[in-house]
Chain A
Amino acid sequence: MSDRLQHGVTSHVPVLRLGEVLLVTLQGDLHDSDAQQLQQDICEAVANSGVTGVVIDISGVEIVDSFLGRVLAEIAANASLLAARTVVAGMRPAVAITLVELGLTLPGLRTALTTEAAMELLTHHDPAAGRGRLSQELG
């Protein structure tokens, strides 16, 4: 069902394939070169596997500065050119507050509160899918 792609090895970041989606889990303090390597790895993984979505789980990331923010935005732009959509999942509230103050609102980046919500956003083609999960839960 899921397999760990070899590409993830170089940047020390686990990249997992779940059906049509690549799940990338960022943890802790990412060095600049790791982030750049990751960008390249994801790009190649998307091209080679033909997935239609990328979920980047940043719930384990304590800070996003302008460097990592730019890398995330560029991953989304790369994936988009390769016909895949990217969703950044699980941003911590403190990180969101800091990013806005920093002036980095990353308008082109789709986000979801959890990895599950991100997966649903990418696998359901209904445009209201992002809200669908919440209304299902609530009602």
Chain B
Amino acid sequence: MPSSTAVEASLPIQSEMDLAWVRQHVRQAAAQLGFGLVAQTKLVTAASELARNTLVHGGGGRMESAAVTRGQAHGLRLVFSDEGPGIADLDRALTDGYTSGGGLGMGLGGARRLVHEFAVDSTPGSGTKVTVVCWVTPPPRPYGGL
């Protein structure tokens, strides 16, 4: 079982520099949990999109990361939270190409496609919480055998 010390973290998202730390942390945590290169790249990209939304649209916030298990499967959970304006129309926000700013409007919908589980909890006026989970594909034979 991988140690959770390098996986569990609560990182501030207040600046561009913090976005780089978030990407670096997610990369290391995903590698530690045994994600392959493509899965790592997807996770880091999704995290980069969500962290930038937290910074740009949410006015800053945090990312919490933790190792999760379900039965035999283990994975990585990332929670991005802010106390910004919230998302009034979630369906519209998830639509490819919709942006309230000058973006491409691909971040939120794109991030959802890059992960296995995706949930948005947002109350207009009091913030947004986006939770994503990715599972490491279980190897065909249990590692180390039983």
Contacts and interface: CB of A to CB of B under 8 A. Distances in A.
Contacts of A98: 38, 41-42, 45, 114
Interface residues of B, number: 27
Interface of B: 16-17, 19-20, 23-24, 27, 37-38, 40-42, 44-45, 48-49, 52, 96, 103-104, 106-107, 109-111, 113-114
Given A29-B24, A62-B41, A102 B16 contact: no
Cβ-closest 9 pairs across A and B: A102-B110, A94-B41, A65-B48, A66-B106, A94-B38, A63-B45, A98-B45, A31-B16, A98-B41
Interface in A110-132: none
A103 interface: yes
A87 to B, nearest CB: 21
30 contacts: A29-B24, A31-B19, A31-B20, A33-B16, A62-B27, A63-B23, A63-B44, A63-B45, A63-B48, A65-B48, A66-B103, A66-B110, A67-B48, A67-B52, A94-B40, A94-B41, A97-B42, A98-B41, A98-B42, A98-B45, A98-B114, A101-B42, A101-B110, A101-B114, A102-B106, A102-B110, A102-B111, A102-B113, A102-B114, A103-B109
Contacts of A29: 20, 23-24
Chain A contact residues, majority secondary structure: helix
A75 to B, nearest CB: 15
Contacts, number: 71
A56 interface: no
Contacts of B45: 63-65, 98, 102
A9 interface: no
